[in-house]
Chain A
Amino acid sequence: MNAPALSTRGLDKSFGSLVVASGIEFALPQGARYALVGPNGAGKTTLINLMTGMLQPDAGRIFLGDEEITSLRPEERVKRGLVRTFQINSLFPRLSALESVTLAVCERQGHGGAIWRSLPAYREAVDEAYAILLSLRLGNDCYRPTRELAYGQQRLLEIALALATRPRVLLLDEPAAGVPIEGSAELFDAISGLAEHISVLFIEHDMDIVFRFASRIIVMVGGSVLVDGTPEEIAADPRVREVYLGKKRHG
């Protein structure tokens, strides 16, 4: 009944001799706001790739709620509500923001293969896409091609695309990467304002933001989970200070 929204058991993955995930045991409860932190190259993005099916694990299992999804294709996982965003913008450069989000809505509604009616005839899909864009304050620029949008707007569009799929579990890979400080707080306000039934795991390097928005923090180093705990526990943990916070202070 109270199965976590997303969980993994013993996930392993290596690239040749480089171990990027080893024995990852992870659980994201329903409605949680968790942060995943760790130094560059710790394997955070790889973990998201594994959970969303963009990479196949060498060993281990992945569950969405009660259902095992280890062997499902990425789009099948999305259909079940497991959705991610990308650390490096992965958008549709020559589609407008409105078209991009409408595309995602249509695919969710199962109209992606519909040939005979024109796109504007799917008015609810278009209106829903527009509403998402408005909620992220992209309404004014939604007719411009994506590649002409400001970088910060493109980061928001990353999230808009994910929201259009109506996720149950949302994995955000450094949503504020490259966004100036003020912008990133704003962006996280938008994220924390997401509906409560959406479980969120976000990767973020800025510890102020992490402490502010996460109810629990998972620290990864060298492909394994070093510790996980509440912000207070993490802040007080000497190992974390050493590998992560400490490193940041001196580096």
Chain B
Amino acid sequence: MTPAEPHLYLQAQIRWHRLEIAFWVATLLPFLLFKSYLVLASQIAITGLFALSLDLILGYAGIVSLGHAAFFGLGSYAAGIVSKHGWGEPLTGLVIAAAVAGLVGYAASFVIARFRHLALIMITLGMGLLLHEAANSASWLTGGADGLQGVRMWPLFGYFKFDLYGVTAYTYSLAVLFLIFLAARRLIHSPFGLSLRGIRENPVRMPAIGAPSRAHIRKVYTISAAIAGVAGALLAQTTQTVSLEVLSFQRSADVLVILILGGAGRLYGGILGAVIYMVARDQLSGFNPQYWYFWIGIMLIVVVMFLPNGILGGLARFGASSRAKAA
């Protein structure tokens, strides 16, 4: 077998897979089959988007963060505060949230780009805690521990009201998730995406081939922060409230768990992880919220031990080996 022409080979690698199309078609199922779960579905889409933002830095560039809720929360508060002060148009709210989170992300990226490993975990953790505390004390702006009251969203496109059943919420969240997913998919298949994987695979070699790793890291970190901000804004807008929890350590840890469970560095891992995690939580936490983390603990240990590339990585391996057997 002679190898295909190299650029054709690379083109084949990034072509849409049947399963991808099936996946996106399946995201429409809740409208037909699970109408009473549309609110949950919209929260899953939002969490999936948040996990996608983390995947860009962790899964592709190998930059660990234990404080990514900082940007989610910034986006939430930005969208909520803008609306509270009389501008309830959702789409501009998203843009403002992305700008605020992206700007803070850009500033933070100058520090982030200089560190790795444990130092990075501590720095991102510290940033998350710091922002959480700042929002707590600035209650004149954020409502503090009581949460931000008085968020009122205008109808989407001036027409679709945010209803109690979550029809608009899910449609809106899903559409935003899909559009940003398309952009992220483009990004990871670009030369920039390849450079990010280079940084993940070998940060020492990158400067030796002339790559400005730090500039790349600053760029992807800013993009990731902006996307996290959009996810946070979606939550604020669809629930019409912002609580301090959007900035909590718990949220940072959860999104990391979701991404690792689903499979980092695969674009769909975060979304799949969000589906599994949040459906399971919805079903299990009815019994006892503490109990829920017991199961998550077990799931995390099992996945990391037996599926180092997450559930999606495991599925891919299974698919490859059964294809090999069939051949």
Contacts and interface: CB of A to CB of B under 8 A. Distances in A.
Contacts of A78: 207-210
Which interface residue of A54, A92, A104 has the most chain B CB atoms within 10 A? A92
Task: Say whether chain B's binding surface is mostly helix, strand, loop, or mixed.
Answer: helix
A118 B190 contact: yes
Given A74-B208, A126-B6, A140-B3, A92 B198 contact: yes
Contact of A130 (B6, B192, B204, B219): B6
A116 B6 contact: no
Interface in B146-191: 186-187, 189-191
Interface residues of B, number: 34
Contacts of B194: 95, 99, 102-103, 106, 119
A127 B5 CA distance: 9
A165 B210 contact: yes
A120 B10 contact: yes
Contacts of A99: 194, 197
A205 B207 CA distance: 27
B319 interface: no
Contacts of B7: 120, 123, 126-127
Contacts, number: 135
B216 interface: yes
Contact of A83 (B204, B208, B213, B219): B208
Given A93-B201, A112-B216, A113-B215, A143 B3 contact: yes
Nearest to A73: B207
Interface in B9-30: 9-11, 14
B67 to A, nearest CB: 25
B211 interface: yes
Contact of A122 (B191, B198, B201): B191
B212 interface: yes
B205 interface: yes
B187 A115 contact: yes
Contact of A126 (B3, B10, B212): B10
Contacts of A107: 195, 209-211
Which interface residue of A73, A115, A143 has the most chain B CB atoms within 10 A? A115
Contacts of A106: 191, 194-195
A108 B210 contact: yes
A114 B9 CA distance: 20
Contact of B190 (A74, A92, A119): A119
Interface residues of A, number: 51
A212 interface: no
B202 interface: yes
A154 interface: no
A95 B197 contact: yes
A75 interface: yes
A103 B6 contact: no
Interface string A74-105: 11001100011010001111110011101110
Contact of B191 (A54, A83, A119, A164): A119
Contacts of B191: 103, 106, 111-114, 117, 119, 122, 125
Contact of A103 (B186, B189, B209, B212): B209
B6 A112 contact: no
Contacts of A103: 191, 194-195, 198, 209, 211
7 contacts: A75-B206, A91-B201, A117-B190, A120-B14, A142-B3, A142-B6, A162-B209
- By Cβ-Cβ distance, the 5 closest A-B pairs, closest first, are A78-B210, A92-B201, A74-B207, A120-B10, A104-B209
Interface of A: 52-54, 73-75, 78-79, 83-84, 86, 90-95, 98-100, 102-104, 106-108, 111-120, 122-123, 125-127, 129-130, 139-140, 142-143, 161-162, 164-165
